[in-house]
Amino acid sequence: MIVRTAMKVQQPKPPASQKSEAAFEAAKAVLAGGVNSPVRAFGAVGGTPRFISKAKGAVLIDADGNNYIDYVGSWGPMILGHAEERVAAAASKALGKGWSFGAPTEAETRLAEQIIADIPSIERIRFVNSGTEATMSAIRLARGFTGRDLIVKCEGCYHGHADALLVKGGSGLATFGTPSSAGVPAAATSNTLVVPYNDKDEATRVFAEHGGKIAALLVEPVAGNMGCVPPLEGYLSHLRGLCDQHGALLIFDEVMTGYRVHIGGAQGLYGVCPDLTCLGKIIGGGFPVGAYGGRAEIMAKLSPEGPVYQAGTLSGNPLAMAAGLATVQALHDAGVYEKLEAQSQKLAEGLAAAAAKAGVTVVQNRVGSMMTVFFQQGPVVNWTTAAQSDTDRYARFFHAMLARGVYLPPSQYEAFFVSLAHADEQIEATIEAAREAFAGLVA
Protein backbone atom coordinates (compact mmCIF):
# COMPACT_ATOMS: atom_id res chain seq x y z
CA MET A 1 0.00 0.00 0.00
CA ILE A 2 1.30 3.42 -0.94
CA VAL A 3 0.77 6.11 1.63
CA ARG A 4 0.91 9.67 0.32
CA THR A 5 2.20 12.27 2.71
CA ALA A 6 1.57 15.96 2.33
CA MET A 7 4.46 17.95 0.95
CA LYS A 8 6.17 19.96 3.64
CA VAL A 9 5.99 23.59 2.65
CA GLN A 10 8.10 26.22 4.31
CA GLN A 11 5.85 29.13 5.13
CA PRO A 12 7.51 32.49 4.57
CA LYS A 13 7.43 35.13 7.22
CA PRO A 14 4.47 37.41 6.43
CA PRO A 15 5.68 40.71 5.01
CA ALA A 16 5.50 43.67 7.36
CA SER A 17 2.23 45.54 6.98
CA GLN A 18 2.11 47.95 9.92
CA LYS A 19 2.32 51.05 7.75
CA SER A 20 -0.35 49.76 5.35
CA GLU A 21 -2.57 48.91 8.31
CA ALA A 22 -2.15 52.41 9.74
CA ALA A 23 -2.75 53.95 6.33
CA PHE A 24 -5.94 51.91 5.90
CA GLU A 25 -7.26 53.00 9.29
CA ALA A 26 -6.59 56.63 8.40
CA ALA A 27 -8.24 56.19 5.02
CA LYS A 28 -11.36 54.63 6.54
CA ALA A 29 -11.83 57.76 8.63
CA VAL A 30 -12.14 59.96 5.55
CA LEU A 31 -12.83 57.75 2.50
CA ALA A 32 -15.96 55.65 2.04
CA GLY A 33 -14.83 52.13 2.88
CA GLY A 34 -11.26 53.40 3.02
CA VAL A 35 -10.85 53.16 -0.76
CA ASN A 36 -11.95 54.87 -3.95
CA SER A 37 -12.84 51.65 -5.79
CA PRO A 38 -14.30 48.64 -3.94
CA VAL A 39 -12.05 45.74 -5.00
CA ARG A 40 -9.00 47.57 -3.63
CA ALA A 41 -10.27 47.01 -0.07
CA PHE A 42 -9.35 43.26 -0.16
CA GLY A 43 -12.92 42.47 0.86
CA ALA A 44 -12.97 39.36 -1.35
CA VAL A 45 -9.73 37.92 0.03
CA GLY A 46 -9.57 39.37 3.53
CA GLY A 47 -6.69 41.10 5.22
CA THR A 48 -5.28 44.57 4.85
CA PRO A 49 -4.88 46.17 1.41
CA ARG A 50 -1.32 47.14 0.63
CA PHE A 51 -0.81 50.87 0.23
CA ILE A 52 1.56 51.41 -2.66
CA SER A 53 4.26 54.05 -2.39
CA LYS A 54 5.89 53.63 -5.80
CA ALA A 55 6.38 51.26 -8.71
CA LYS A 56 8.87 50.61 -11.47
CA GLY A 57 8.73 48.12 -14.31
CA ALA A 58 6.89 45.02 -13.06
CA VAL A 59 7.46 45.78 -9.36
CA LEU A 60 5.29 47.47 -6.75
CA ILE A 61 6.73 48.78 -3.49
CA ASP A 62 4.35 49.26 -0.60
CA ALA A 63 4.40 51.65 2.34
CA ASP A 64 6.30 49.09 4.45
CA GLY A 65 9.01 48.71 1.81
CA ASN A 66 7.89 45.30 0.53
CA ASN A 67 8.50 44.53 -3.15
CA TYR A 68 5.93 42.63 -5.21
CA ILE A 69 5.92 41.31 -8.77
CA ASP A 70 2.76 42.98 -10.05
CA TYR A 71 0.11 41.24 -12.16
CA VAL A 72 -2.60 43.87 -11.64
CA GLY A 73 -0.90 46.61 -13.62
CA SER A 74 -3.39 49.25 -12.47
CA TRP A 75 -6.08 46.85 -13.75
CA GLY A 76 -4.64 46.72 -17.25
CA PRO A 77 -3.20 49.98 -18.57
CA MET A 78 0.42 49.43 -17.54
CA ILE A 79 1.20 47.19 -20.52
CA LEU A 80 4.68 48.71 -20.85
CA GLY A 81 5.30 48.46 -17.10
CA HIS A 82 5.20 51.09 -14.38
CA ALA A 83 6.96 54.44 -14.82
CA GLU A 84 8.07 53.51 -18.33
CA GLU A 85 10.62 56.09 -19.50
CA ARG A 86 9.00 57.09 -22.81
CA VAL A 87 5.61 57.57 -21.19
CA ALA A 88 7.09 59.46 -18.24
CA ALA A 89 9.00 61.76 -20.59
CA ALA A 90 5.93 62.46 -22.72
CA ALA A 91 3.75 63.21 -19.69
CA SER A 92 6.46 65.38 -18.13
CA LYS A 93 6.84 67.40 -21.33
CA ALA A 94 3.08 67.92 -21.50
CA LEU A 95 2.95 68.88 -17.82
CA GLY A 96 5.53 71.59 -18.39
CA LYS A 97 3.29 73.21 -20.99
CA GLY A 98 0.14 73.23 -18.86
CA TRP A 99 -2.17 70.38 -17.96
CA SER A 100 -5.72 71.56 -18.68
CA PHE A 101 -7.03 74.24 -21.03
CA GLY A 102 -10.70 73.46 -21.64
CA ALA A 103 -9.88 74.04 -25.29
CA PRO A 104 -8.77 71.83 -28.20
CA THR A 105 -5.16 70.68 -28.53
CA GLU A 106 -3.33 69.01 -31.38
CA ALA A 107 -2.42 66.14 -29.02
CA GLU A 108 -6.04 64.98 -29.15
CA THR A 109 -5.91 64.79 -32.92
CA ARG A 110 -2.63 62.88 -32.95
CA LEU A 111 -3.87 60.20 -30.57
CA ALA A 112 -7.17 59.99 -32.44
CA GLU A 113 -5.36 59.49 -35.74
CA GLN A 114 -3.29 56.67 -34.28
CA ILE A 115 -6.31 54.89 -32.76
CA ILE A 116 -8.30 55.21 -35.98
CA ALA A 117 -5.37 53.70 -37.89
CA ASP A 118 -5.23 50.75 -35.47
CA ILE A 119 -8.80 49.88 -34.44
CA PRO A 120 -10.82 48.52 -37.40
CA SER A 121 -14.27 49.85 -36.44
CA ILE A 122 -13.33 53.45 -35.60
CA GLU A 123 -13.65 56.25 -38.18
CA ARG A 124 -14.34 59.04 -35.68
CA ILE A 125 -13.69 59.14 -31.94
CA ARG A 126 -14.62 61.13 -28.83
CA PHE A 127 -12.37 61.18 -25.75
CA VAL A 128 -13.81 61.11 -22.22
CA ASN A 129 -12.29 60.49 -18.79
CA SER A 130 -13.19 56.90 -17.88
CA GLY A 131 -14.51 53.63 -19.19
CA THR A 132 -17.81 54.28 -17.45
CA GLU A 133 -18.20 57.55 -19.35
CA ALA A 134 -17.34 55.80 -22.59
CA THR A 135 -19.92 53.04 -22.25
CA MET A 136 -22.76 55.20 -20.97
CA SER A 137 -22.10 57.74 -23.75
CA ALA A 138 -21.97 55.03 -26.40
CA ILE A 139 -25.36 53.75 -25.24
CA ARG A 140 -26.86 57.23 -25.41
CA LEU A 141 -25.43 57.63 -28.89
CA ALA A 142 -26.81 54.25 -29.99
CA ARG A 143 -30.26 55.22 -28.76
CA GLY A 144 -30.02 58.58 -30.47
CA PHE A 145 -28.92 57.01 -33.75
CA THR A 146 -31.50 54.20 -33.83
CA GLY A 147 -34.41 55.96 -32.12
CA ARG A 148 -34.86 52.86 -29.94
CA ASP A 149 -34.68 52.38 -26.16
CA LEU A 150 -33.69 48.81 -25.28
CA ILE A 151 -30.12 47.73 -24.54
CA VAL A 152 -28.90 44.14 -24.30
CA LYS A 153 -25.93 43.24 -22.07
CA CYS A 154 -24.42 39.98 -20.86
CA GLU A 155 -24.62 38.63 -17.33
CA GLY A 156 -21.29 39.02 -15.55
CA CYS A 157 -19.96 41.67 -17.93
CA TYR A 158 -19.19 44.94 -16.17
CA HIS A 159 -19.41 48.14 -18.20
CA GLY A 160 -18.98 50.76 -15.51
CA HIS A 161 -21.28 52.08 -12.83
CA ALA A 162 -23.88 53.89 -14.94
CA ASP A 163 -27.36 53.10 -13.58
CA ALA A 164 -28.66 51.31 -16.67
CA LEU A 165 -25.71 48.90 -16.67
CA LEU A 166 -25.69 47.83 -13.02
CA VAL A 167 -27.67 44.70 -13.78
CA LYS A 168 -25.93 41.40 -13.08
CA GLY A 169 -22.50 42.93 -13.56
CA GLY A 170 -19.23 41.23 -12.72
CA SER A 171 -16.04 42.47 -11.08
CA GLY A 172 -16.67 44.07 -7.69
CA LEU A 173 -20.37 43.33 -7.96
CA ALA A 174 -19.71 39.66 -8.55
CA THR A 175 -17.14 39.63 -5.78
CA PHE A 176 -19.63 40.85 -3.21
CA GLY A 177 -22.50 38.76 -4.56
CA THR A 178 -24.55 41.81 -5.51
CA PRO A 179 -26.50 41.42 -8.76
CA SER A 180 -27.29 45.14 -8.94
CA SER A 181 -26.85 48.20 -6.74
CA ALA A 182 -28.83 50.07 -4.14
CA GLY A 183 -29.68 53.55 -5.29
CA VAL A 184 -30.55 52.46 -8.82
CA PRO A 185 -34.28 52.91 -9.47
CA ALA A 186 -36.12 50.16 -11.30
CA ALA A 187 -36.96 52.60 -14.08
CA ALA A 188 -33.25 53.05 -14.83
CA THR A 189 -32.79 49.38 -15.67
CA SER A 190 -36.20 48.66 -17.16
CA ASN A 191 -34.81 49.07 -20.66
CA THR A 192 -31.82 46.76 -20.09
CA LEU A 193 -32.15 43.13 -21.15
CA VAL A 194 -29.67 40.57 -19.82
CA VAL A 195 -28.50 37.42 -21.58
CA PRO A 196 -25.82 34.86 -20.63
CA TYR A 197 -22.39 35.44 -22.15
CA ASN A 198 -21.41 32.94 -24.85
CA ASP A 199 -25.00 31.77 -25.32
CA LYS A 200 -26.07 32.15 -28.96
CA ASP A 201 -29.53 30.71 -28.38
CA GLU A 202 -30.51 33.16 -25.64
CA ALA A 203 -29.24 36.11 -27.65
CA THR A 204 -31.27 34.89 -30.62
CA ARG A 205 -34.38 34.49 -28.47
CA VAL A 206 -34.13 37.98 -27.01
CA PHE A 207 -33.70 39.54 -30.45
CA ALA A 208 -36.59 37.50 -31.83
CA GLU A 209 -38.83 38.86 -29.09
CA HIS A 210 -37.59 42.46 -28.88
CA GLY A 211 -35.49 43.04 -32.00
CA GLY A 212 -37.42 46.02 -33.34
CA LYS A 213 -36.96 47.87 -30.04
CA ILE A 214 -33.28 47.09 -29.38
CA ALA A 215 -30.90 49.99 -29.89
CA ALA A 216 -27.71 48.08 -29.18
CA LEU A 217 -26.06 45.02 -27.75
CA LEU A 218 -23.12 45.88 -25.49
CA VAL A 219 -20.55 43.16 -24.82
CA GLU A 220 -16.99 42.62 -23.65
CA PRO A 221 -15.55 40.68 -26.62
CA VAL A 222 -13.29 38.99 -24.08
CA ALA A 223 -14.97 39.14 -20.70
CA GLY A 224 -12.61 40.40 -18.02
CA ASN A 225 -14.81 41.21 -15.06
CA MET A 226 -15.88 37.68 -14.18
CA GLY A 227 -12.28 36.70 -14.68
CA CYS A 228 -10.89 36.26 -18.17
CA VAL A 229 -13.51 34.44 -20.27
CA PRO A 230 -12.87 34.22 -24.03
CA PRO A 231 -15.69 34.16 -26.58
CA LEU A 232 -16.59 30.72 -27.86
CA GLU A 233 -15.93 30.11 -31.54
CA GLY A 234 -18.50 31.95 -33.66
CA TYR A 235 -20.12 33.79 -30.74
CA LEU A 236 -19.06 37.32 -31.69
CA SER A 237 -19.92 36.82 -35.35
CA HIS A 238 -23.33 35.51 -34.27
CA LEU A 239 -23.95 38.71 -32.31
CA ARG A 240 -22.84 40.71 -35.33
CA GLY A 241 -25.39 38.88 -37.46
CA LEU A 242 -28.22 39.40 -34.98
CA CYS A 243 -27.58 43.14 -34.81
CA ASP A 244 -27.46 43.39 -38.60
CA GLN A 245 -30.65 41.40 -38.96
CA HIS A 246 -32.60 43.54 -36.51
CA GLY A 247 -31.12 46.97 -37.21
CA ALA A 248 -29.39 47.27 -33.82
CA LEU A 249 -25.86 48.49 -33.15
CA LEU A 250 -23.15 46.18 -31.85
CA ILE A 251 -20.97 47.85 -29.20
CA PHE A 252 -17.70 46.28 -28.07
CA ASP A 253 -16.52 47.31 -24.63
CA GLU A 254 -12.76 47.13 -25.28
CA VAL A 255 -11.78 49.23 -22.28
CA MET A 256 -9.77 46.22 -21.11
CA THR A 257 -8.95 44.44 -24.37
CA GLY A 258 -8.15 47.47 -26.53
CA TYR A 259 -4.43 47.25 -27.40
CA ARG A 260 -4.11 44.51 -24.77
CA VAL A 261 -4.90 41.35 -26.76
CA HIS A 262 -3.92 42.73 -30.20
CA ILE A 263 -2.85 46.02 -31.75
CA GLY A 264 -6.37 46.21 -33.18
CA GLY A 265 -8.09 45.11 -29.98
CA ALA A 266 -10.25 42.01 -29.70
CA GLN A 267 -11.98 42.99 -32.94
CA GLY A 268 -8.63 42.81 -34.69
CA LEU A 269 -7.88 39.48 -33.07
CA TYR A 270 -11.22 37.84 -33.88
CA GLY A 271 -12.05 39.64 -37.11
CA VAL A 272 -15.49 40.87 -36.03
CA CYS A 273 -16.15 44.58 -36.44
CA PRO A 274 -18.63 46.35 -34.13
CA ASP A 275 -20.49 49.58 -34.91
CA LEU A 276 -19.12 51.34 -31.82
CA THR A 277 -16.07 50.63 -29.67
CA CYS A 278 -15.39 51.78 -26.11
CA LEU A 279 -11.76 52.18 -25.04
CA GLY A 280 -9.85 53.19 -21.93
CA LYS A 281 -6.90 52.10 -19.78
CA ILE A 282 -4.01 51.59 -22.25
CA ILE A 283 -4.95 54.55 -24.49
CA GLY A 284 -4.17 56.86 -21.55
CA GLY A 285 -0.96 55.16 -20.52
CA GLY A 286 -2.22 54.93 -16.95
CA PHE A 287 -3.80 58.39 -16.77
CA PRO A 288 -7.60 58.75 -16.43
CA VAL A 289 -9.06 58.28 -19.90
CA GLY A 290 -11.87 56.79 -21.93
CA ALA A 291 -13.05 56.99 -25.50
CA TYR A 292 -15.78 55.78 -27.79
CA GLY A 293 -15.77 55.73 -31.54
CA GLY A 294 -17.21 54.09 -34.60
CA ARG A 295 -18.64 54.72 -38.02
CA ALA A 296 -18.58 58.35 -39.08
CA GLU A 297 -22.34 58.46 -39.71
CA ILE A 298 -23.03 57.32 -36.15
CA MET A 299 -20.50 59.65 -34.55
CA ALA A 300 -22.00 62.56 -36.54
CA LYS A 301 -25.04 62.34 -34.24
CA LEU A 302 -22.93 63.74 -31.38
CA SER A 303 -23.12 67.39 -30.42
CA PRO A 304 -22.00 69.82 -31.81
CA GLU A 305 -22.78 68.12 -35.15
CA GLY A 306 -25.88 66.29 -34.02
CA PRO A 307 -28.55 66.16 -31.31
CA VAL A 308 -26.91 63.68 -28.87
CA TYR A 309 -25.29 65.66 -26.08
CA GLN A 310 -22.16 64.69 -24.16
CA ALA A 311 -19.42 66.94 -22.73
CA GLY A 312 -16.54 66.91 -20.26
CA THR A 313 -14.20 69.58 -18.92
CA LEU A 314 -11.14 67.33 -18.72
CA SER A 315 -11.89 65.19 -21.77
CA GLY A 316 -8.82 64.92 -23.98
CA ASN A 317 -6.61 66.55 -21.37
CA PRO A 318 -2.97 66.99 -22.47
CA LEU A 319 -1.44 64.63 -19.90
CA ALA A 320 -3.60 61.65 -20.83
CA MET A 321 -3.21 62.33 -24.54
CA ALA A 322 0.58 62.53 -24.32
CA ALA A 323 0.94 59.43 -22.15
CA GLY A 324 -1.55 57.52 -24.27
CA LEU A 325 0.14 58.36 -27.55
CA ALA A 326 3.56 57.40 -26.19
CA THR A 327 2.15 54.07 -24.98
CA VAL A 328 0.31 53.23 -28.19
CA GLN A 329 3.29 54.17 -30.35
CA ALA A 330 5.54 51.94 -28.24
CA LEU A 331 3.20 49.04 -28.94
CA HIS A 332 4.09 49.35 -32.63
CA ASP A 333 7.69 48.34 -31.90
CA ALA A 334 8.73 45.12 -33.61
CA GLY A 335 8.09 41.96 -31.61
CA VAL A 336 6.01 43.57 -28.85
CA TYR A 337 3.01 41.26 -29.01
CA GLU A 338 5.18 38.21 -29.66
CA LYS A 339 7.05 38.97 -26.45
CA LEU A 340 3.83 39.47 -24.51
CA GLU A 341 2.51 36.16 -25.82
CA ALA A 342 5.71 34.29 -25.00
CA GLN A 343 5.92 35.60 -21.44
CA SER A 344 2.21 35.06 -20.83
CA GLN A 345 2.37 31.51 -22.18
CA LYS A 346 5.39 30.77 -20.01
CA LEU A 347 3.55 32.05 -16.93
CA ALA A 348 0.35 30.18 -17.79
CA GLU A 349 2.11 26.89 -18.41
CA GLY A 350 4.15 27.28 -15.22
CA LEU A 351 1.09 27.98 -13.10
CA ALA A 352 -0.77 25.03 -14.62
CA ALA A 353 2.16 22.70 -13.97
CA ALA A 354 2.52 23.96 -10.40
CA ALA A 355 -1.16 23.35 -9.67
CA ALA A 356 -1.07 19.89 -11.24
CA LYS A 357 2.03 18.87 -9.26
CA ALA A 358 0.32 19.92 -6.02
CA GLY A 359 -2.88 18.12 -6.97
CA VAL A 360 -4.91 21.33 -6.98
CA THR A 361 -7.66 21.45 -9.59
CA VAL A 362 -7.83 24.74 -11.45
CA VAL A 363 -9.08 26.00 -14.79
CA GLN A 364 -6.99 28.56 -16.58
CA ASN A 365 -8.39 30.93 -19.22
CA ARG A 366 -6.06 33.15 -21.23
CA VAL A 367 -6.21 35.50 -24.19
CA GLY A 368 -2.79 36.97 -24.90
CA SER A 369 -1.47 38.79 -21.85
CA MET A 370 -4.67 38.60 -19.78
CA MET A 371 -5.56 35.44 -17.87
CA THR A 372 -7.36 34.03 -14.83
CA VAL A 373 -6.78 30.93 -12.70
CA PHE A 374 -10.20 29.71 -11.55
CA PHE A 375 -10.31 27.40 -8.55
CA GLN A 376 -12.80 24.90 -9.96
CA GLN A 377 -13.11 22.04 -12.46
CA GLY A 378 -14.48 24.13 -15.36
CA PRO A 379 -14.76 24.91 -18.15
CA VAL A 380 -15.51 28.57 -17.45
CA VAL A 381 -17.51 30.10 -20.30
CA ASN A 382 -19.93 32.51 -18.59
CA TRP A 383 -20.92 33.95 -15.24
CA THR A 384 -22.82 30.84 -14.11
CA THR A 385 -19.73 28.69 -14.52
CA ALA A 386 -17.34 31.32 -13.18
CA ALA A 387 -19.46 31.66 -10.04
CA GLN A 388 -18.83 27.99 -9.19
CA SER A 389 -15.23 28.85 -8.28
CA ASP A 390 -13.92 28.26 -4.78
CA THR A 391 -13.35 31.86 -3.75
CA ASP A 392 -12.11 30.90 -0.28
CA ARG A 393 -9.35 28.81 -1.83
CA TYR A 394 -8.45 31.64 -4.17
CA ALA A 395 -8.17 33.94 -1.15
CA ARG A 396 -5.73 31.53 0.51
CA PHE A 397 -3.73 31.30 -2.71
CA PHE A 398 -3.71 35.09 -3.05
CA HIS A 399 -2.25 35.59 0.42
CA ALA A 400 0.26 32.78 -0.05
CA MET A 401 1.49 34.49 -3.20
CA LEU A 402 1.50 37.90 -1.52
CA ALA A 403 3.67 36.49 1.27
CA ARG A 404 6.09 35.32 -1.43
CA GLY A 405 6.28 38.71 -3.13
CA VAL A 406 3.70 38.29 -5.89
CA TYR A 407 0.76 40.70 -6.18
CA LEU A 408 -2.26 39.10 -7.84
CA PRO A 409 -5.74 40.59 -8.28
CA PRO A 410 -7.48 40.59 -4.87
CA SER A 411 -10.52 38.86 -6.35
CA GLN A 412 -11.17 35.54 -8.09
CA TYR A 413 -13.20 37.45 -10.66
CA GLU A 414 -10.49 39.69 -12.06
CA ALA A 415 -7.87 39.07 -14.73
CA PHE A 416 -4.09 38.88 -14.32
CA PHE A 417 -2.13 41.15 -16.67
CA VAL A 418 1.37 40.52 -17.96
CA SER A 419 3.42 43.52 -19.09
CA LEU A 420 6.42 43.99 -21.33
CA ALA A 421 8.40 44.73 -18.17
CA HIS A 422 7.98 41.18 -16.83
CA ALA A 423 11.43 39.64 -17.32
CA ASP A 424 12.17 35.92 -17.44
CA GLU A 425 13.47 35.88 -13.88
CA GLN A 426 10.26 37.49 -12.59
CA ILE A 427 8.09 34.98 -14.44
CA GLU A 428 10.23 32.14 -13.05
CA ALA A 429 10.06 33.59 -9.53
CA THR A 430 6.28 33.77 -9.84
CA ILE A 431 6.07 30.14 -10.92
CA GLU A 432 8.30 29.05 -8.03
CA ALA A 433 6.12 31.02 -5.61
CA ALA A 434 3.05 29.33 -7.10
CA ARG A 435 4.58 25.87 -6.58
CA GLU A 436 4.87 26.56 -2.87
CA ALA A 437 1.51 28.35 -2.66
CA PHE A 438 -0.40 25.54 -4.39
CA ALA A 439 1.35 22.92 -2.27
CA GLY A 440 0.41 24.85 0.84
CA LEU A 441 -3.25 24.58 -0.07
CA VAL A 442 -3.17 20.81 0.35
CA ALA A 443 -0.50 20.52 3.06
Catalytic residue IDs: 158, 253, 281
SS (H, E, C) the chain: CCCCCCCCCCCCCCCCCHHHHHHHHHHHHHCHHHCCCHHHHCCCCCCCCCCEEEEEECEEEECCCCEEEECCHHHCCCCCCECCHHHHHHHHHHHHCCCCCCCCCHHHHHHHHHHHHHCCCCCEEEEECCHHHHHHHHHHHHHHHHCCCEEEEEECCCCCCCHHHCECCCHHHHHCCCCECCCCCHHHHCCEEEEECCCHHHHHHHHHHHHHHEEEEEECCCECCCCCECCCCCHHHHHHHHHHHHCCEEEEECCCCCCCCCCCHHHHHHCCCCCEEEEEHHHHCCCCCEEEEECHHHHCCECCCCCECCCCCCCCCHHHHHHHHHHHHHCCCCCHHHHHHHHHHHHHHHHHHHHHHHCCCCEEEEECCEEEEECCCCCCCCHHHHCCCCHHHHHHHHHHHHHCCEECCCCCCCCEECCCCCCHHHHHHHHHHHHHHHHHHHC
Neighbours of 13 (CB within 10 A): 6
**CA distance linking residue 73 with residue 123, whole number of Å:** 29
CA distance 52 to 23: 10
